[in-house]
Amino acid sequence: MRRRNWIALAAGIAASTVVATTAVQAEELYIPNLSYRTGPFAATGTPLMNGQRDYIEMLNSRDGGVNGVKLGYDECETGYNTNKGVECYEKTKGKAIVTQPWSTGITLQVLPRTNVDKIPILAPGYGFSPMSDGSVFQWGFNPPASYWDAASMILKHISGGDLDSLKGQKVALLHLDHPYGKEPLPLLSAMSEKHGFKLLPIPVGLKEMQNQSAQWLQIRRERPDWVIMWGWGAMNTGALTEAVKTRFPMEKFVGVWWSGHDNDMRVVGDKGKGYKSISWNVPGDYPVMADVKKHVIDAGKSLLADPADANTVFYQRGLVISMILVEGIKAAQAHFDSKIINAEQLRWGLENLNVDEAKLKELGMGGMTVPFSTSCSNHTGHGGGWMLEWDGTKFVQASDHLTPDRAAIEPLEAAKAKEYAENNKPWPVTACNG
Amino acid sequence: MFYRTAGQFKTTYSADQALYPIRQDAILLGIVLAVAYVILPMVASEFAFRALLVPVLIYALAALGLNILTGFAGQLSLGTGAFMGVGAYACYKLTTIFPEMNIVIALFLSGFFSAAVGVAFGLPSLRIKGFYLAIATLAAQFFLVWLFEKAGWLYNYNASGAIEVRTLDLFGLTVTGPTATPVTQYYFVLVTVTVITLLTINLTRGRYGRTWKAVRDMDIAAELVGINLMRAKLTAFAVSSYIVGIAGALLVFFFKGAAEPNLFDIELSFLILFIAIIGGLGSILGNFLGAILIVALPVILNVIPDALGIPVSSATFEHINDMIIGALIVTILIVEPHGLARFWAVIREKLIIWPFPH
């Protein structure tokens, strides 16, 4: 009897293996996501992953996928750990048409390999700012805006559009002491020299994220006119609570788009009123949200803990990120006239994105995110963004559409991209026509 | 029956002192080497090379380095991660300052930098020991990682603050960088690890190994019989850091391809220490067994639900995986506190006397 049980179990396992392999062989586009729902940054990762997942679920159940092909969304858990990130990349790259590394560290490690493996990296709004230069980073994409775009837009907003008005002022950059946090430094220091304001970089170590009393003591002593924050995860909450404690005026406190997370703000609640963060999506009640609600959340297919969280900035940003990927797939399908596309074809699709106002309306996302378009030489799109402001309970739009000062950024991007290619010789560089 | 030592007579001292005096041990080693050098490269997939084999070898080498210090010389260290970082940064600087330099030379030179740093931070061991020394090496851990972050020269003022590996050739074969094939990288790491392991085995059997063990077991007695404590401790720090540094350089150049400073954070030190403890302190084989358990097993477990088609979300399985590995570690430490190497020794003894139990 006992032996029979074992045989039954073995047969069951064998059968399910067969089923699993045939399921993969069925016509679908495999789009894995290197997620982090565990580890120190899980609190910010989870809503983003939920959004990404739910948009794909919605398309699969509403339209049966894209142009009749199911989307095989899958997660490989990294816990924001680069070791596991590399493991996941190797595990998924065989049949995947895209890789979404979700961490600056993993992006840096995967970036050189994608050239050889010929698989596009989609890193919306993160990664390396010079990645915008498509002639050097042929496989890297960071639409709709880069970190340098963000820094430029923040400066534009706090100066009221005229950067020279910042002359003589002091701008502190409270940043994570990590490749991600250091990203805006080259641009901000170039701008401070050009426009005569004083830049005060204040690093926060990974270990002191939650305890920033030293940094805020420095801020109180230096009395900067503005504090710009490049924080992530627990660092945001730490900074906000310290800012409240030291009574720093919230109107003078501006974060990058990863520092505008509803859950971080809930900790300070009403006292955080006036805090701003740049963003390329505005949370709200868009037509697409009705579809997500109907097909995914109400159908019980979502992983959201509370359906009300569907109105948060990060969840909806997850939807936008998946939308960008799906638009790339659509573009590639149309161009190559084939429902099943491979990684190289998707790269063409991501390089020829044209997400304009009309397209966003058609998707039910009008006003939800910035319109942008990419090309061979422009892998970012530079769609700009909006300022969001915390009103005590939620983020609301607080500015018109802002655009980065591309004229000031472009030479810097080209120089840094060239430097990267030289440091990583032999690095393939192609010429782009437009 | 399987491990019968009867009939294996030693007629010379050198035969008696051979590395593997029992024939079956030599055969077993031969099989392991044949699997590693011939069979695995033929059957392994790219994923197996990049996520399993290469990291296991590199982490085993790092644990081997730590084991010399902690297992053989009895000096507790929590700075292994940072010493690996010194090796990696030294190798990075060497290959960028002298682009023509052979990677093998750069690799073995970079070990000297970490050896020097290791000795410098090992100096307190002359006055303090045990937990107090652990705190001193912890200072090295924090200081060095801070230095990797702050000193722009170390990462060539790279905008991302990370070190990135260039493509390097060896005898016309690309060994580092994205274009290197996984098999080439695997062979390079395998040969390096084999050579260092062989040297270490002999070193620990020889004069230095004996003085280290004497210091470990009772330093006052060792001093009384004429062992120079200072020399014994500092050589242990130097040799240990040298190997750890090479492991660090291998980690970045042959596994990761790029590294941020916080890669060499205290978690890495703990990981290496766990491998050494689970494998067995004071053993060479244990490092490899420990690395297989701690580095490879989670990766293998992660593949199982997919292979069996069990619908578990990746994040959930990550938690389950942690629980399985944690339970295994606790069980092993309860059943055999001396680690996996001791496990093997017990099995081996049983096989030798089989079928006659004591």
Residue A19 sits at the chain B interface (C-beta within 8 Å): yes
Tokens standing for A187?
């641009």
Minimal CA separation from B21 to chain A, in Å: 40
For residue B256, how far is the Cα from the chain centroid?
Answer: 16
Of B50, B167, B258, the CB nearest to A425: B167
* Residue burial B244-271, b: 16+ Cβ < 10 Å; e: rest: bbbbbbbbbbbbbbbbbbbbbbbebbeb
- From chain B, pick out residues whose CB is under 8 angstroms from the CB of A186: 159
pLDDT at res. B358 = 64
Dump pLDDT digits (tens) for B271-315: 999 999 999 999 999 999 999 999 999 888 888 887 888 788 888
pLDDT of residue A79: 86
Please answer yes or no on whether B161 and A182 come within 8 Å at the CB atom: yes
Interface test with A, best of B314, B320, B322 (most A CBs within 10 A): B314
CA-to-CA distance for A369 and A316, rounded, in angstroms?
Answer: 10
d(CA A297, CA A289): 10
Enumerate long-range contacts of A356-359, CB under 8 Å, 24 or more apart.
A359/A327
C-beta neighbour count of A302 within 10 angstroms: 22
- C-beta separation of A51 from A286 below 8 A: no
Alpha helix segments (H runs only) across A103-212: 104-117, 147-158, 179-182, 185-195
Task: Report the first-to-last Cα separation within chain A, whole angstroms.
Answer: 72
Measuring CA to CA, which residue among A123, A70, A48 is closest to residue A316?
Answer: A48
Give me the helix-helix angle, B207-217 and B229-250, nearest 10°. 110
Which residue in chain A has the smallest CA separation from B315? A77
A247 or A434, which is more confident: A247
Distance CA B128, CA B75 (A): 10
A17 to B309: CB separation less than 8 angstroms, yes or no: yes
Q: Alpha-carbon distance A169 to B107, whole Å?
A: 49
What is the Cα–Cα distance from A121 to A141, expressed in whole angstroms?
Answer: 6
**pLDDT tens digits, B27-44:** 999 999 999 999 999 999
A351 vs A365: CA distance, rounded Å: 21
pLDDT given at position A434: 54
Q: Closest-CA residue in chain A for B162?
A: A179
- Which residue of chain A comes nearest to B266, CA vs CA? A207
Find which of A38, A126, A180, A230 to mutate to test the B interface (most B CBs within 10 Å of its CB): A38
> Can the peptide bond before residue A426 be classed as cis, meaning omega within 30 degrees of 0?
yes
- pLDDT interval class at B1 (50, 70, 90): low
Confidence of residue A17 (pLDDT cuts 50, 70, 90): very low
A26 touches chain B (CB under 8 A): no
Residue type present at position A343? A
Q: What is the pLDDT of residue B79?
A: 92
Q: Judging by DSSP bridges, how do beta strands A70-77 and A28-35 pair with one another?
A: parallel
What's the pLDDT score for residue B313? 81
Q: In A, which residues are within 8 Å of B314 by CB distance?
A: 35, 37, 74-77
> Residues A294-318: what's their mean pLDDT?
90
| pLDDT tens readout for residues B221-270 | 999 999 999 999 999 999 999 999 999 999 999 998 888 888 899 999 99
Distance to chain A for B339, nearest Cα, Å: 25
Instruction: Give A 62-81 residues with CB within 8 A of chain B.
Output: 74-77, 79
Nearest by CB to residue B307, choosing from A17, A37, A206, is A17
Helix (H), strand (E) at residue B220: helix B219-224
Report in angstroms the alpha-carbon separations of B265 from A39, B51, B262.
16, 21, 5
- What's the pLDDT score for residue B250? 95
B135, two tokens: 């705190």
Residues of B with CB under 8 A from a CB of A: 46-47, 50-51, 55, 96, 149, 156, 158-162, 164, 166-167, 177-179, 255-258, 260, 262-263, 265, 299, 302-303, 306-310, 313-315, 317-319
Contact with chain B for residue A116, Cβ under 8 A: yes
| Structural tokens at position B256 | 């990761």
Can you tell me the distance from the alpha carbon of B277 to that of B271, in angstroms, rounded to the nearest whole number? 10
Identify the residue whose tokens are 């495999």: A30
Interface TM-score (ipTM) > 0.85: no
Least confident of A390-394, B115-119, B240-244, B285-289: A390-394
How far is Cα of residue B115 from the mean position of the Cα atoms in its chain?
15
- The pLDDT score that the predictor gives to residue A15 is 46
Q: How far apart are CA B340 and CA A115, in angstroms?
A: 41
Q: For residues B103 and B110, is the Cβ–Cβ distance under 8 A?
A: no
* Model confidence at A21: pLDDT above 50: no
Instruction: Look at residue B93 in the predicted model and tell me its pLDDT.
Output: 95
Alpha helices (H) along A139-212: 147-158, 179-182, 185-195
Write down the mean pLDDT value for chain A: 88
CA distance B113 to chain A (A): 23
Please provide the DSSP assignment of B143-163 as one string: HHHHHHHH-GGGGTT-TTS-E
Preceding omega of A411 cis (within 30 degrees of 0) = no
Q: Which residue, among A186, A202, A194, has the nearest Cα to A130 in the 3D structure?
A: A186
A115 touches chain B (CB under 8 A): yes
Cβ-defined contact of B309 to A19 (cutoff 8 Å): yes
What are the structure tokens assigned to A12, written together?
């069951």
Residues 6+ apart with CB under 8 A from A4: none
- Taking the C-alpha atoms of residue B335 and residue B333, their distance in angstroms, rounded to an integer, is 6
**Cβ atoms within 10 Å of A373's Cβ, excluding its own:** 16
- Chain A residues within 8 A of B313 when measuring between CB atoms: 75, 303
Q: How far is CA A9 from CA A17, A86, B324, in A?
A: 12, 33, 21
Per-residue pLDDT tens over the stretch B44-62:
988 899 889 999 999 999 9
Contact A77 B177 (CB under 8 A): no
On the question of pLDDT at A127 being above 90, the answer is: no
Strands B173-174 and A170-176, bridge-based pairing: unpaired
pLDDT at A95 over 50: yes
More confident residue, B354 or B320: B320
Residue A100, strand partner residues: none
Residue B102 has pLDDT above 50, yes or no: yes
Q: What is the pLDDT of residue A10?
A: 52
- What are the φ/ψ torsions at residue A199 (nearest 5 degrees)? -100, 130
Q: Give how far B95 is from chain A: nearest CA, Å.
A: 11
Task: From A311, A204, A323, A209, select the one nearest A262 (Cα to Cα).
Answer: A311
Lowest mean pLDDT among A121-135, A185-199, B98-112, B147-161: B147-161
8 Å CB contact of A112 and B164: yes
Q: Which residue has the tokens 């204040």?
A: A202
Of the ranges A207-211, A247-251, B242-246, B352-356, which is most confident? Answer: B242-246
Which pLDDT belongs to residue A233? 82
The pLDDT of residue A1 is 40
Q: Tell me how far apart the alpha carbons of residues B222 and B212 are, in angstroms, rounded to a whole number.
A: 9
Q: Say if residue A2's pLDDT is above 60.
A: no
pLDDT at A22 over 50: no
Residues B4-17 pLDDT 10s: 777 888 888 888 88
Q: How does the average pLDDT of chain B come out, rounded?
A: 90
Considering only the beta carbons, identify the residue of A23, A75, A179 that sits closest to B161. A179
For residue A90, give how far its alpha carbon lies from the nearest alpha carbon of chain B (Å): 5
Among candidate residues A138, A143, A101, the one with its CA nearest the CA of residue A116: A138
**Percent above pLDDT 70 for chain A:** 94
| Bridge partners of residue A172, in order along the sequence | A200, A227
Distance from CA of A225 to the nearest CA of B (A): 26
pTM, two decimals, is 0.86
Find, among B20, B293, B160, the residue nearest to A417 by Cα: B160
Q: Do A179 and B47 touch (CB under 8 A)?
A: no
Q: How far apart are CA A141 and CA A120, in angstroms?
A: 7
End-to-end Cα spacing for chain B: 16
In this prediction, residues A225-254 reach a mean pLDDT of 91
**Does A189 contact B at CB distance below 8 Å?**
no
Share of chain A above pLDDT 90, in %: 58
Surface-to-core class of residue B187, CB atoms within 10 Å of its CB (0-12 exposed, 13-18 middle, 19+ buried): middle
Query: Which residues in chain A touch residue B148, judged by CB atoms under 8 angstroms apart?
Result: none
Confidence band of A14 (pLDDT split at 50, 70, 90): very low
Q: Which residues contact B219 (CB under 8 A, 6 or more apart)?
A: B74, B129, B229
